[in-house]
A and B are shown apart, each in its own frame.
Chain A
């Protein structure tokens, strides 16, 4: 099974700053089969990024994904109030599907 480790656990940033979130896989992903989700308190997750770097419909271009092999990054440029949330990575190239433990982006 592929284990995804996200870091840091919490990221404290001012509005306008850049957030860099990491997701490391225990094995190399054989395809570009990595997605990122955003979840706000009391809400369902929302797809942000799929295929490592493709933005989902309606997602701001301030969100970008990159990486390959075992190391992946979600970057959020110019943080806005609506971006403060928990972010999860997910791999879907290998069964069972798995999620990382999440990174909380909080207002500093």
Chain B
């Protein structure tokens, strides 16, 4: 069974930084792209970033380009999201999700973690 477990969320001041982690199990994570999606309180889903299976290709939404960095450590089956210069509007639940494809761009998301809450205030 695929399991994705996010951690690292919390309360941070505007301008601060936070690093989210997502530990994957139940599948060969090095064979699949991975993504981060967030959901502001009471709002819809917003795709943020994706990464290819090897980590060699990364993709970002305009809203986070230059502030957020996606990376992965396949030896530890872990996905990361480094978030810098956080803004109040970055407050949301952050989900990691498994891509169906390997290339990290242009895939639907077939498994999701339970999410981790980031509050910028």
A interface with B by C-beta (< 8 Å): 33, 35, 37, 39, 43-47, 50, 56, 88, 90, 92-102
Report the separation of the CA atoms of residues A44 and B35 in the bound assembly, to the nearest whole angstrom: 14
Report the separation of the CA atoms of residues A74 and B59 in the bound assembly, to the nearest whole angstrom: 28
Say yes or no: B44 contacts A101, CB within 8 Å. Answer: yes
Query: For the complex, would chain A's binding face be called helix, strand, loop or mixed by DSSP majority?
Result: loop
**Minimum Cβ distance to chain B for residue A6 (Å):** 9
Given known contacts A44-B113, A44-B114, A44-B115, is B106 in contact with A93 (CB within 8 Å)? yes
Chain A residue nearest in CB terms to B113: A44
Q: Specify which of B106, B110, B112 is in contact with A44 (CB 8 Å cutoff).
A: B112
**Minimum Cβ distance to chain B for residue A16 (Å):** 28
Chain A residue nearest in CB terms to B107: A92
Kindly state the interface size class of chain B when it binds its partner. 20 to 34
Quick check: is B46 within 8 A (CB to CB) of the other chain? yes
In the bound complex, residues from chain A placing their C-beta under 8 Å from that of B100 are 50
Q: Give the 8 A-B residue pairs with the shortest CB-CB distance, closest first.
A: A35-B108, A44-B112, A97-B47, A99-B45, A50-B108, A102-B44, A101-B44, A47-B110
Chain B residue nearest in CB terms to A86: B44
- Render B35-54 as a binary contact track against A, CB cut-off 8 A, 1 for contact: 10100000011110010000
Say yes or no: B44 contacts A88, CB within 8 Å. Answer: yes
